[in-house]
Amino acid sequence: MEDMIFYDRLQFAFTITFHYIFPQLTMGLSLMIVYFKWKFLRTQIEKYNNAAKFFMKIFAINFTMGVVTGIPMEFQFGTNWAKFSELTGGIIGQTLAMEGMFSFFLESSFLALFIFGEKLMGQKLHFLTGFLVFLGSWASGWFILATNAWMQHPVGYEILENGKFVLNNFSDLFTNPWLLPAFLHNQMASVVTSAFVMASIGAFYILRDKHSEYGRLFLKTGVVFGLISSVLVAFPTGDWNAKNVAKYQPGTFAAMEGIFETEEAGAEIVLIGQPNMVEKKLDNKIAVPNILSFLTYQEWHKQIPGMDQFDEDELPDNIPALYYSYHIMVGLGTIFIGVMALALFFLWKDKLYNIKPLLWTIMFLVPFPYIANITGWYTAELGRQPYLVYGLLRTSEGVSPNVSSGNTLFTLLGFVGLYMLLGLLFLILVGKTINQGPTPKSH
């Protein structure tokens, strides 16, 4: 049974990790495409229109890959997690269906119109199609986050005698106190990824002395969007999320922060340390006293419960993975703020385009927002364990009893091979698009 649960979780973790490479770029990029198209309508400067159309090509490649990798992921609800689907389908089925019916069709329909319909529609309608693509992609995030928020903090439900969850208040799904901070945090993090991708393409063009006018535009836009979104990821959205975890999942909060024992005089914030699960402590710890209490409750000496206050079977089942995921996310987020603030300073001084070490740094940082986004999701999902629906339905109760661990492992290996090919195809297509540039005849 333990092997079966492990392989079911591993397969879902792999497929959703690979899938989320793509939506995190499309959600942020759609906003920046709308910005370029709006700038074109205001100024009638053609480079803004070309920039919008160029990034919509990259958007379309990402969107296609997201669809291809998203379908197998959702099938797993019926294959590996049939019991979970049977018990909670009356609730999560509604938000997932709304995501497919409204968001996906809105996004895909108007994406085609944006790419192929500019001359037919005129510029104002073309802008509207871009805006509707943005609206569809963010609505998609909203419905998915509404599903996840219910699993993290279940509201508006009742449990029938047969164990099934049913919704008794539809509006509670969308007024869940977990939803808005999680959604805003997730969307700002996707803008961070898109800003770094855009800035890195700009840096690449400047370093190669190719498409230089667009290189400067992309770098400038990416840096401005990147700094604003990096700050918003940390505060207020990240702070708001952390306070929600402390309030609704206190055991998870203790594990995230590495608080093994409750401190009477207030909790310290750990900068560096390695969880020692044998001795129940952090090794090689560097910490600042009382800061965590102040950040969480605005009181220097407020007590925060440690893991010693909870039953072991109620705590997350992989505390080191949760702890490291959280600290990688926070550490990278801090680096992003620093790099983008430095880049904006030199942009203001009109020196950024000539500082090659900083341009190289921006270009090679491009994988790290993806890592930060994925470790952020690992923090949320590892933190909810050992539950699928926090406090109500354990992960062990949601698996399909008739799917063997061997079958799951076999299909997982198939996904790994297939997704490697898809990933290679994606890199080739995006690489060719970037190499071609915003306009085919640009120099």
CA-nearest of 362, 58, 365 to 199 is 362
Report domain extents, the chain.
1-176+415-433, 185-402
Alpha carbon separation from 240 to 128, 182, 233, 374 (Å, rounded): 33, 8, 10, 19
Counted residue by residue, the chain has a size of 443
pLDDT digits (tens, 9 = 90+) for 281-317: 999 999 999 899 999 989 898 899 999 999 999 999 9
Q: What pLDDT score does 443 carry? A: 39
Q: What pLDDT score does 399 carry? A: 92
Q: Are 167 and 146 in contact (CB under 8 A)?
A: no
Q: What pLDDT score does 1 carry? A: 61
Residue 42's φ and ψ, nearest 5 degrees, are -75, -40
pLDDT digits (tens, 9 = 90+) for 406-435: 999 999 999 999 999 999 999 999 999 999
Half-sphere exposure of 358 (CA within 13 A, CB side): 19
Read off the tokens for 31: 């906003």
Q: What pLDDT score does 75 carry? A: 87
Q: Which helix (H) or strand (E) holds 98?
A: helix 82-98
Question: Cα dihedral sign for 287, 237, 148, 17?
Answer: negative
Query: What is the amino acid identity at position 279?
Result: E
Predicted model pTM: 0.95
Taking 70 as the pLDDT cut, the residues of the chain under it are 1, 440-443
Half-sphere exposure of 49 (CA within 13 A, CB side): 16
Read off the tokens for 50: 């070309």
CA 357 to mean position of chain CA atoms: 28
Q: What pLDDT score does 442 carry? A: 42
Measured CA to CA, the distance from residue 345 to residue 162 in angstroms comes to: 61
Q: What pLDDT score does 402 carry? A: 85
Q: What pLDDT score does 440 carry? A: 53
CA 140 to mean position of chain CA atoms: 13
* 43: Cβ contacts below 8 Å, ≥ 6 apart: none
Task: Count CB-CB contacts under 10 A for residue 348.
Answer: 9
